[in-house]
Structure 1
């Protein structure tokens, strides 16, 4: 079984156990806030189950119908998880408002508090582990699952503090007030998750990654690479697709052009740890390129080099040679 699938499966099984523990805590205490936490755990289980399937599907090889692979299912998985989180938050708020109007007694608070504290600790550790692994495996699904568990852990710890406060003050209405606050916190985190997943589904640029790539290219540029433009970077799950245009001396033969393109490919592959696919289009230089071309001993140069154009996000992403910008 692939590492991603093992991690998600472990997360699913642990989420089921923790959900049962939270419902046990609710039946012991009859606390609306604990029921809120338990209800969110149902979302954890559903989300982990869908995440398992999406990671399985994303790992499938490219085929005729999916030439870029199946990686984008991970963005859809994160969207579903974020939507479920938002729904859970809304249900929590509605139930809590109802209990403010029709309160119920809370019993055995300390027993329930210990159980919730334990589940929060486990969720926090598991969420931290998933987020750390998502960076090495480059999986938005695992990252989403990890962030969701961290959110759950934070809400559980907040709930523990609230239950302790109720125990010492006997102000039972705080139970519903805490639940409402947790509900809004959960909705906010669900929104952040769905926002990121929608951006991925719509091929939104990862400006941080793209800026790092441009900086790396600028530091390692070769004189024959007169300019790079129309640079785009897209994520498909764990895969990254990069395409760009590179301006080369027009008199290079096909073998030389192929070698230069391969050099760019190799350079970027060393900088990016993930599986990367390139589409590099070679453009011939024009006389107007001479003033910023650094190639020495060029027999067709029509004017001397007068400037060096630093590659930046604003000039390499435009679909224009640099003299046109």
Structure 2
């Protein structure tokens, strides 16, 4: 099922909404811990504090990434989103340490929850809020190719699984009489937080290191070039990277040596326009070469170069 919630047009607006919702979830989870005294619910509330801090960082990063290119950043500010995601991953790891310490303390000095059912009810409401917003953020981040929104959505959804586990686990404590189950649940929360933090940092570091996009995206790029390169001989040395919502692409385009600059430029324009239509925001650099530079690899236009697109000199 796909959510169809109305969203702000800018990614920065979505991040602002995320901050507000994180504060609402934090209030509910703090109340859940306050009425129950559960170490597991305390751990969940601590994790939500990191969500609030991460939402502030995401809002800053998206505000920076939307700035136009300037003389100091001629390729734009898109990588600010990755910096935010790496910072969020680091905060998540710190949170896991804090929660793990509380879990050990709860195991060594267990005590029964004061009002487990009231705490579970409040935590359950916060979990439903996170479920709706986490799915919305994840869908918006993927559709808009925003690393900061995707990382935020993944982090919020990790809270959902934590919330479900807490609801089930804390309800079992009075039924089983095993008070240390509270500490076990806190320990499992810490492990889940570590997993999410590692995934967020891994994806963000890959973006900072200009990792090539997935094979499906590369196939789409090659298909667009092949479909719109009529008149050329081949395209080789294709390189691409995706930074936030921007795709950077460069390659060599071999054309007949006798082709005019005008005709070669028209082929380049046709390819660039098709790539932007398919990929969205795309910065394309095409190095045009004569036929004696052909490598007979990459994309070879078959069966032979067609008549130039125009006869203008």
Identify whether the pair has TM-score above 0.5, normalized to the shorter chain: yes
**Aligned match for 1:235, one of 235, 242, 258:** 242
CA distance in structure 2 between the partners assigned to 1:30 and 1:44 by the alignment = 21
Distance 2:293 2:56 in 1: 59
Tell me which residue corresponds to 1:294. Answer: 303
Does 1:67 pair with 2:67? no
Q: 1:133 matched to which residue of 2?
A: 140
CA distance in 1, matches of 2:172, 2:225: 56
The DSSP-based 3-state class of the residue aligned with 1:106 is coil
With structure 2 as the length reference, what TM-score do the two structures score? Answer: 0.89
1:22-41 correspondence runs (5 A): 22-41=29-48
Q: Structure 2: how far apart are the matches of 1:59 and 1:288?
A: 39
Question: Per-residue CA shift, 1:153-211, capped at 9, x if unaligned?
Answer: 11111111111111311211011111111211110111011000001011111123223
Aligned length: 296
1:281 and 2:290 are equivalent in the alignment: no
- Structure 2 counterparts to residues 211-250 of structure 1, below 5 A: 211-218=219-226, 220-250=227-257
CA contact (8 A) 1:223 1:294 kept: no
CA positional deviation for 1:137: 2.0
Where does the alignment leave 5 or more consecutive residues of structure 1 unmatched?
299-325
State how far apart, in whole Å, the 1-side matches of 2:113 and 2:294 are.
Answer: 80
Instruction: Name the counterpart of 2:4.
Output: none
Which residue in 2 is equivalent to 1:316?
A: none
Shift of 1:12: 0.1
CA contact (8 A) 1:30 1:106 kept: yes
* 3-state secondary structure, aligned to 1:286: helix
SS at match of 1:63: coil
The 3 A distance-change label for structure 1 pair 244 and 27 is same
Q: Find the aligned partners of 1:168 and 1:142 in 2 and give their Cα distance.
A: 40
Q: How far did residue 27 of structure 1 move?
A: 1.1
Distance in 2 (CA, whole Å) between partners of 1:290 and 1:180 is: 58
Structure 1 runs of 4+ aligned residues shifted over 4 Å read 287-293
Number of the residue aligned with 1:322:
none
- Tell me if the contact between 2:58 and 2:84 (Cα under 8 Å) persists in the aligned partners: yes
Distance 1:296 1:34, change over 3 A: closer
Which segment is superposed worse, 39-48 or 130-139?
130-139
Distance 2:111 2:306 in 1: 87
State the 1:129 CA deviation: 0.4
- Aligned residue in 1 for 2:170: 163
2: CA distance, partners of 1:131 / 1:201: 20
